[in-house]
Amino acid sequence: MKHFFIATALMLHLCAYASTDSVKVVKGQVSDYYIPVVTQYNVTGTVTDQNGRPLEGATVMWLYSPAHCNTDAQGRFSLIGTDSDVNLCAHYPGKEMTVVTRTADAHQVNIVMHPKHHAAMAAPRRAAQVTRWYDPRHTATSTYCNPLNISYNYEPWNNNTRTGGSFRSSADPMALTYKNEYYLFSTNQGGFHYSANLSDWDFAAASFQRHPADDDECAPTAWVVGDTLFYTGSTYRGLPIWYTTSPKTGRWRRAVERNTLPTWDPHVFLDDDGRLYEYYGSSNEYPIKGVQISRDDFTPISKIHDLILLQPRQHGWERFGMNNDDEVTLKPFTEGAFMTKHGGKYYLQYGAPGTEFKVYADGVYVGDHPLGPFTYQRHNPMSYKPGGFVQGVGHGGTFADLKGNYWHVGTCMLSLKYKFERRIGLYPTAFDTDGVMHACTAFGDYPCWNADHDISRPADRFTGWMLLSYGKHCTVSSTDSTLTATSLTDENMRTYWSAATGNTDEWAQIDLGGEREVKAIQLNFYDHHTIQHNRANDLYYQYRIMASDDGRQWTLAVDRTDNDRDTPHDYIELREPLHTRFLRVENVHMPSEGNFCLSELRVFGHASGEKPERVKKLIVSRDKADPRNALISWTATQGAYGYNIYFGTEPEKLYHCITVNGATQYDLRGLDVGTTYFFAIEALAETGRSPISSLVKR
């Protein structure tokens, strides 16, 4: 068997590197052998040291080939080669390994070897240092910052990755509580993530994959019955429904061999009367459907009901396009059904208009029965985030934490290397006294208090820590092509900076423009020249964050040099405020051979000074010909870097929020025909938030 593998490896080498004139097929006892027929000849030469003395016994080989020879007393060698064997490699004790590249017509090659330079010994392995601001041994946080800092899996090797290279992605999330922890299920992960506080996440494998590019965990659903966790993914042909009482062990059994319905984007809902319902559908032609199913074999036991079909002519936010501005290419998609029961009412949520757009959102219909009839909620969509660093919050799920407070997880748009390149966001959610369901996305990509805090009003989750990094000047160790440092602080997840290498001498530095009180830092790593597909257990980022008042004398603030967790959107909540002007991130290790690369270096805290003044001259011009559209403008406020536009269907219900950075207008195309809206705005500055403006009714 050993000889077979050696022969196979040699054959693969010849196939890859030899100039093949033809292929000879040899009939073996068990299988056929395909032997390339090539033109071979001797490549000769000498191996000497830097003084011209011949080196006897030097090994000469083709690079990455087992074919080799040794030099004689005069340093001469002769090695069989082909036109495709161009890299000669020589080894001799005490000398540097030497590689010489030849042209195909060069049959005589002389190799000169030089003394081996012993590199300085690597620094001894040690635990990361504890500082006043960060303890690497106690990293549990009380806040979180979107996108969620989970180990997003890499897309398999397929046509989606061949153009732009490796990329991470996950989407279509749902979460639930199981045995006093939070479980997060989402597309293409080969398992699930779990957390005790919704900030710090671990991963457990639970793969049911049959083919390398299959994704049996596409848009999954999970539900709990007693002490048992059930789970299944999207299917048109039928997938098993699995169950377990010990999900972290990775051991699952089949409750049924095949689900009987074509349930793409399924959601299974257990009502408090013990009845089980399933909702499914992902289409721009067919409605979302619902049916009661058996708890014994999960087959349908009621009529299948058509429940929701989009009405983009009435609901502006349901229109296709990056800004609901494409009614030509395709009809919008409705997908991702999810049911929540609250106050005796049934809230059927759905995603629209397309996962690759910043306006991806979740709407809701409300009914008195799990299968309807349902009425479109006047406040819609219930989760909406088309502005800021993290954009989009569609195809998600709603759940209550262990203190009874609600949250909504949703899909965030990235769509840079591929349209289905996505992330996951988490937003506090509530039902007001009138039963209106709404997720709070204001400051949805700023630090917010996690589930350890018993906060019932979603807006109170925001810590008050402002963005200190927007538009700030950055310097870097190097740059690969056009991927410059300006992308580090533009609050755009779809741009990124990359160093020329992934070496330990690469760094990125930000000047905050003056001393600031830093409370938290978010490093959003990205993949440039990364070679990784699917999940691996050896992916992690290691780095140091240094702080300085003058850009010359540096103090270690955060030491992540022995981190072994996969944290692609690493969020660091400091133990105490760090007062500094400069921050520098020094690379130690990047996963999978990639360059040191960041899409954004985000810093949060406070600057000294007065809060910005109230925004003036808020103007909302609603299009009379198409009331789904409104152009919003305002006068710039001194000291402001951005603005939050709030709007809603009543003066006290301004549940929608759009964050706009560096501009004084916004083209809103997400309004409903026949609905009156109220608008207000606030200015965002490093010193804090302005008072809310006067209301505008349109």
Distance CA 162, CA 417 (A): 10
Write the CA distances from 49 to 59, 63, 74, 525, 528, integer angstroms. 14, 20, 12, 45, 40
pLDDT in tens, 321-358: 999 999 999 999 999 999 999 999 999 999 999 999 99
Which residues, other chains included, contact 193 with Cβ-Cβ below 8 Å and sequence gap of 6+?
Answer: 150, 151, 183, 184, 186, 201, 202, 203, 204
Mean pLDDT of 442-448: 98
Output the DSSP codes for 219-268: S-EEEEETTEEEEE---SS---EEEES-GGGT--EEEES--SS--SS-EE
Same fold, 146-445 and 474-606: no
Distance CA 136, CA 539 (A): 18
Domain residue limits, the chain: 2-113, 146-445, 474-606, 619-697
CB 687 within 8 A of CB 609: yes
CB 634 within 8 A of CB 680: no
Q: Is the pLDDT of residue 3 over 70?
A: no
Q: To the nearest whole number, what is the mean pLDDT of the chain? A: 94
Mean pLDDT of 58-84: 95
Q: Is the pLDDT of residue 11 over 60?
A: no
pLDDT at 238: 83
Distance CA 289, CA 291 (A): 7
Q: Which residue type sits at 143?
A: T
Q: Is the pLDDT of residue 119 over 70?
A: no
pLDDT in tens, 27-51: 989 999 998 888 899 999 999 999 9
Peptide bond into 353 cis (omega under 30): yes
Instruction: Work out the pLDDT band at 21, boundaries 50, 70, 90.
Output: low
- Domain 2-113, CATH 2.60.40.1120 — does that match? yes
Distance CA 515, CA 520 (A): 15
Instruction: Work out the pLDDT band at 2, boundaries 50, 70, 90.
Output: very low
- Domain 474-606, CATH 3.40.50.720 — does that match? no
Instruction: Work out the pLDDT band at 16, boundaries 50, 70, 90.
Output: very low
pLDDT in tens, 262-301: 999 999 999 999 999 999 999 999 999 999 999 999 999 9
pLDDT at 6: 35
Distance CA 661, CA 600 (A): 15
First to last CA, the chain: 79
Q: What are phi and psi of 451, to 5 degrees?
A: -70, -10
Provide the pairing of β-strand 422-431 with 437-439: antiparallel
Q: Is the pLDDT of residue 78 over 80?
A: yes
Buried b (16+ CB within 10 A) or exposed e, 59-95: ebbbeebeeeeebeeebebebebbeebbebbbbbeeb
Distance CA 546, CA 557 (A): 5
Instruction: Work out the pLDDT band at 124, boundaries 50, 70, 90.
Output: low
pLDDT at 171: 98
Distance CA 294, CA 676 (A): 43
Distance CA 125, CA 538 (A): 17
Mean pLDDT of 369-394: 98
Distance CA 392, CA 371 (A): 28
pLDDT at 4: 37
Which CATH code is given to the segment(s) 619-697? 2.60.40.10
Instruction: Work out the pLDDT band at 554, boundaries 50, 70, 90.
Output: very high
For 146-445, CATH number out of 3.40.720.10, 3.30.70.20, 2.115.10.20, 3.40.50.720 equals 2.115.10.20
Distance CA 519, CA 295 (A): 49
Residue 109 gets the label, from left (phi > 0), alpha (psi -120 to 50) or beta, of beta
Distance CA 420, CA 155 (A): 10
Write the CA distances from 119 to 116, 122, 346, 506, integer angstroms. 9, 8, 68, 19
pLDDT in tens, 487-545: 999 999 999 999 999 999 999 999 999 999 999 999 999 999 999 999 999 999 999 99
Distance CA 156, CA 217 (A): 13
% of the chain surpassing 70 pLDDT: 96
pLDDT in tens, 618-673: 999 999 999 999 999 999 999 999 999 999 999 999 999 999 999 999 999 999 99
Which pTM was predicted? Answer: 0.89
Distance CA 692, CA 459 (A): 14
pLDDT in tens, 152-162: 999 999 999 99
Distance CA 137, CA 131 (A): 11
Per this entry, what is the length of the chain?
698
